[in-house]
Amino acid sequence: MSAPFVLSDTVNLAAALVIGLFFGFFLERGGMGNPHKLTGVFYRTDFAVPKMMFSAILVAATGLCLLSDLKVLDMSRVWIIPTFLWPQLVGGALFGLGFLVSGYCPGTAVAGLASGRLDALVTMAGIGSGTLLFSALYPWIEGFYKTSDMGAVTMPDLFHVNHWAVLLVVYVLAGFMFSVMERYEHRGQPVVVKKGRPAVS
């Protein structure tokens, strides 16, 4: 029998809570509850967000390649995020604006609230309201929302290559990106992590 396991509803929901616990713990330990750290990347003062994100992607992707080749994990039973090219391009760019203005994204707002940040709670209320706004406007958005449906397409499908080839490219790109970020941060650039006024405006 291979994973993912067939769990009863109760066990699956309990697993969700435990998985979330680790998710929140690592988010907070990486500084992802701090809006100054979260928005630092957009001002090129603190690259914690892309560093943490791409480290996580590399670790999880390596595990998925390995476990699926070893037949431990049956990828055909794992939910693959579908691609809707244009809605995700436009939605992603708008999301970047919301991230910059609020200083959070949905998961990190929850981590921010855990440290007593009331602005994170206000952002959470905003996210709920934005969701309702989307639902109210849905009849007018539905056409665009459903365009460019490419299904559960992955890079190995798209380029007709083995997943290890894609992983190698991701390692090389991430390694290059990490080294550029490290050099940039150590060039005497102000690293804004303190609450309040940064060293240089």
Partner 1 sequence: MNKNAFWSPYLAGAGLGLTLLASFVIAGQGLGASRAFTVAAGAAMNAVAPAYTTTLTYLSKYLEQSPFHDWTFLEVTGVLIGAFVGVLMSRGFKVRFDRGSAMSVGTRVMTAFGGGIILGFAGRLARGCTSGVALTGSAQFALSGWVFVIAMFAGGFLFAALFRRLWS
For the segment 127-186, give every residue that binds partner 1 (CB under 8 A): 127-136, 138-139, 141, 145, 150, 152-156, 158, 163, 166, 178
Least distance between partner 1 and beta carbon 178 (Å): 8
Closest C-alpha to 147, from 76, 108, 91: 91
| 123 touches partner 1 by CB under 8 A | yes
Question: What DSSP character marks residue 45?
Answer: S
Residue from 17, 71, 187, 188 binding partner 1 (CB under 8 A): 17
Pick between residue 125 and residue 180 the one whose CB is nearest to partner 1: 125
Helix (H, G, I), strand (E, B) or coil at 30: coil
Query: Which token pair is 170?
Result: 């991701």
| 27 touches partner 1 by CB under 8 A | yes
Residue from 9, 70, 143, 187 binding partner 1 (CB under 8 A): 9
| 84 touches partner 1 by CB under 8 A | yes
| Distance separating alpha carbons of residues 40 and 23, to the nearest angstrom | 21
| Distance separating alpha carbons of residues 120 and 89, to the nearest angstrom | 26
Site for partner 1 in 91-120 (CB under 8 A): 91-120
Least distance between partner 1 and beta carbon 146 (Å): 11
Cβ(21)–Cβ(29) below 8 Å:
no
Cβ(23)–Cβ(30) below 8 Å:
no
**Mask: binding to partner 1, 42-81, rule CB under 8 A, as x and -?**
xx-x-xxxxxxxxxxxxxxx-xx--x----xx-x-xxxxx
Cβ(108)–Cβ(98) below 8 Å:
no
Least distance between partner 1 and beta carbon 51 (Å): 4
The separation between CA 30 and the C-alpha centre of its own chain, rounded to angstroms, equals: 13
